[in-house]
Amino acid sequence: MRQVLTPALLGARFLLELGLLATAGWLGWNLGSGGVAGALLAAAVAVAVATLWGVLLSPKARVTVPFPMRLLVEVVLFCAAGLGLWLTGLQPWALVLVAGEVVVLLSLLALGERPGPADR
């Protein structure tokens, strides 16, 4: 069962990561009130989130961070994105993003998997 669940959960996790990046761009666009400023802010926020994820949380992360800190950073990113969606009137998407993250993360932990880079 674990051989089926783990890849499925990791696939769902990847989709949630894409949702996080899309949300970051959406929030940047809204904060910049659209137009050129919105596009620039959307790109900047999405790149900032992608960089943070890549440096600290991805399987090939360049910086070694203790697991509790990685978990905290991940939860804060998803909660901030969920709050942003909620405040821009996209409450159903906020619930999907945050609840999806919670379910996938807790499921992976229950299976003994630690998302992100292997502890070095």
- Give the model confidence (pLDDT) of 25-84 as tens digits: 999 999 998 899 999 999 999 999 999 999 998 888 888 889 999 999 999 999 999 999
pLDDT at 119 over 70: no
pLDDT of res. 62: 84
pLDDT of res. 118: 67
Question: What amino acid occupies position 75?
Answer: V
Q: What's the CA angle centered on 81, arms 105 and 119, to 5 degrees?
A: 35
Torsion angle of C-alpha atoms 35, 41, 42, 47, degrees rounded to 10: 150
- Shortest CA distance to 84 belongs to which of 21, 15, 14? 21
pLDDT of res. 60: 85
